[in-house]
Structure 1
Amino acid sequence: MKRLFILLSCVIFCLSCRSNKNIPDVSGIKVNLETKRYERDFFSIDTLNIAASMNSLLQKYPKFTPDFVENILGLDMDSLLIPGNEQDSAIRLFIHDYRPVKDSSDLMYKDFSKETSEIKNALQFVKYYFPQYKLPQFLITFIGPINANFETSFGTQGDVLTSEGLGIGLQLHMGKNYSLYKSREGEEQYPDYLANNFDEKHITVNCMRNIIDDLYPDNTNGKPLIEQMVEKGKRIYLLTKFLPNTPEYICFGYTEKQLKDCYKNEAVIWDFFLNNDLLNNAEQNIIKNYIGESPKTQELGEDSPGNIGTFTGMQIVKRYLEKFPETTLQDIMKTDASEIYTKAKYKPRS
């Protein structure tokens, strides 16, 4: 009987995660995406003649180089184009300190064709659902300092959408046990619950997160918790549509077990929000406990994931879509979160 229960739970989990596998055929949608290895060009510059080297980089990457220098390295682009300027030493130091990271990335990502193919496929789904959206045409890999990260509506990541294309910060995709993350600076910057997602599997996920933020800039600040939960849920739901073959737990940033436990305890989680009168709370220090990055949800136990409100938000979105199946992705993203919550009449079974 116990074995039957376990098997049944697994079946329910699988059905819950992807109950609708009606994946559209996007094979006929053409996507032009060229991969450029910026880190290889950058780490090959002549450190005795940085101004000339930076000019060459600027010619090859006219938009990305200023973004990289100013927003990732925190230096001044114009100064670096002047021979013998005082910022040359910062470039030399960065290249020296991060040469081991670059060498490791050369081994791990010698061939980027697999990742490029996955991202192209995801962009086909973007174009299918949003035909008017202008897709990026370049995929640019780079190595930045360990503290080079970007805040998205989904959380912190090392990848960014720039004016020249999708930027992939390989320094945050070297595998959770990479030595850089185990250094003192690394552990201070990225606790295990963040570093656990610093792998190859999250490259395409992070790219699509950036696309979603570009399509729908986050404007939830100041809204009550329930509205922010639903908005986050809408984004995760959209992410799963762009990545229909990616396990749902990866889209959430959970472990597989954490997501299984969330589905198993869906009603318990919802009762927690109701019983503690949290849904209409608009205090940011309260809200961040349930939709922000954290190792766990304190009140729900050591094994619970952080950002658990996003899980509930997505279940509300799915319930709404069950009631209104004619709703398109564009419709659901434009529908006010409070309307989705009210009409969904979400009440998970205990």
Structure 2
Amino acid sequence: MAKNLRIGKSYSCGRPGTLLVFFLLILLGACGKSDQSCQVSSEVAAIPVDLKIERLEDLLFEAKNNDAINYFLDSHPDFTNKYLQEELYPSREALVTTLSEIPRDSLMAALYQEVKSNFKNIRQLEKDLENGFKHIKYYFPDFKIPKVYTFVSGFTSDLYIDNDMIVIGLDYFLPHDHKFQPPEIPEYLAVRYDEAHLVPMIITAISSRYNETNLKDNTLLAEMIFYGKAYHFTKAMMPCTPEELIIGYTSDELAACYSNEQFIWTHLIEKEAIYETNPFEIRKYTGEAPFTDVISTDAPGRVGRWVGWNIVDAYAERNNVELKTLMEEEDARKIFMQSAYKPRQ
């Protein structure tokens, strides 16, 4: 599928200075954090955000000739330059030729039709993103509303996010049981790639712009706090979103975390793991995996991130810290010490 198409991937989902990658998301269990703050305030609702997502896959697949493709590229210079990376092609003609071949590829044509069938309209996606952007602009008034495009990437790019533009590869977010699935994503990650997880994934990626961190602190604790702040940010921007959709656990996995919170925390303390600096050891607690086997094969992967989220929540609540102040706090140890975090009994 579109083997010669170069597509940029620019969003950062991990703590600066690490090789870890964010993946996220899924449904609220009975023992999770409450959604008492679910109501959207009138101040947030009043913030003017008029979001219209442009479906660029239609412009490409319905282009009648090369002139139409050229016009498509000229009228979307940000997409052309940053996503398609036109500078990597020997000429504009070479890029146009590559793009013109995509609709004629039988697999790409079939994939496009499946995307059109499964995403007949994207009104709910627009509404959810607009609501998230309203919240971000409320807390961070300098936030610039990006252009948002959809595209069919041929499973080469799920999301591209920078300060000015978001491109959503809708082919990645087809239903989990769909016949077309991203070939390089393992099953335990693929279950999070559907429409329900899309907006939390975008908002969490955006959180990295505001998530200050001390790059000299290479401990597991710093990694945990970084992710905890990211999830705390996303929950603030999407107050009605179940925490499973933010952290990326199933309801059973989340329930297991709460049921075994004392056991998980005892392991981290007794092993002095939170002060670990070896990146390979840190990855055992925060890296993508089907389970956190250093604790237990029954513990879901990335459980260190979940503990970090609980620590950050405790710190913010105990000290009545505003979101902007929290995101600017670089001192992970301060957040930990002043959180007085204790596992729930």
Asked whether the two chains share a fold, i.e. TM above 0.5, the reply is yes
- Which structure has more RCO (C-alpha within 8 Å, separation ≥ 6)? 2
Label 1:263 to 1:86 Cα distance change in 2 as closer, same or farther (>3 A): closer
1:73-103, Cα deviation, whole Å (9 max, x unpaired): xx75653523xx4983575157513221111
Label 1:110 to 1:213 Cα distance change in 2 as closer, same or farther (>3 A): same
Letter in 1 for 2:326: I
Q: State the distance in 1 between where 2:288 and 2:245 align.
A: 14
Label 1:228 to 1:166 Cα distance change in 2 as closer, same or farther (>3 A): same
Which stretch of the first structure deviates more once superposed, 245-254 or 209-218? 209-218
Question: Are the aligned partners of 2:227 and 2:308 in contact in 1 as well (CA < 8 Å)?
Answer: yes
Q: State the distance in 2 between where 1:322 and 1:86 align.
A: 52
Q: State the distance in 2 between where 1:222 and 1:79 align.
A: 43
Question: Are the aligned partners of 2:144 and 2:164 in contact in 1 as well (CA < 8 Å)?
Answer: no
Listed as ranges, the gaps of 5+ residues in structure 2 are 1-28
Q: State the distance in 2 between where 1:69 and 1:95 align.
A: 19
Q: State the distance in 2 between where 1:146 and 1:217 align.
A: 32
Letter in 1 for 2:155: I
1:283-318, Cα deviation, whole Å (9 max, x unpaired): 111111211211111134344211111110011112
1:178: Cα distance to partner?
2.0
Task: State the partner residue of 2:116.
Answer: 106
Give 1:205-284 correspondences, 5 Å limit. Answer: 205-216=200-211, 220=215, 223-284=218-279
Letter in 1 for 2:153: G
Task: State the partner residue of 2:160.
Answer: 160
Task: Report the TM-score when normalising by structure 1.
Answer: 0.82
Task: State the partner residue of 2:80.
Answer: 65
Q: State the distance in 2 between where 1:261 and 1:38 align.
A: 42
1:31: Cα distance to partner?
0.4
**Partner SS state of residue 160, structure 2:** strand
Q: State the distance in 2 between where 1:43 and 1:247 align.
A: 36
Question: Are the aligned partners of 1:64 and 1:163 in contact in 2 as well (CA < 8 Å)?
Answer: no
Letter in 1 for 2:220: L
Label 1:318 to 1:210 Cα distance change in 2 as closer, same or farther (>3 A): closer
Label 1:174 to 1:164 Cα distance change in 2 as closer, same or farther (>3 A): same
Task: State the partner residue of 1:24.
Answer: 41
The partner residue of 1:306 within 283, 291, 301 is 301
1:229-265, Cα deviation, whole Å (9 max, x unpaired): 0111011011111111111011001111111111121
**Partner SS state of residue 341, structure 2:** coil
Question: Are the aligned partners of 1:160 and 1:207 in contact in 2 as well (CA < 8 Å)?
Answer: no
The partner residue of 2:341 within 337, 343, 346 is 346
1:109-154, Cα deviation, whole Å (9 max, x unpaired): 1111111011101111111111222222x22001113232xxxxxx
Task: State the partner residue of 2:322.
Answer: 328
**Partner SS state of residue 167, structure 1:** strand
Label 1:18 to 1:146 Cα distance change in 2 as closer, same or farther (>3 A): same
Task: State the partner residue of 2:141.
Answer: 131
1:267: Cα distance to partner?
1.2
The partner residue of 1:34 within 43, 52, 55 is 52
CA RMSD of aligned residues (A): 2.4
1:106: Cα distance to partner?
0.4
- Percent identity over the alignment is 25
The partner residue of 2:71 within 56, 65, 69 is 56
Q: State the distance in 1 between where 2:198 and 2:213 align.
A: 21
Task: Report the TM-score when normalising by structure 2.
Answer: 0.83
Question: Are the aligned partners of 1:63 and 1:163 in contact in 2 as well (CA < 8 Å)?
Answer: no
Higher helix share: 1
Task: State the partner residue of 2:129.
Answer: 119
Q: State the distance in 2 between where 1:173 and 1:221 align.
A: 37
1:211: Cα distance to partner?
1.9
Letter in 2 for 1:249: E
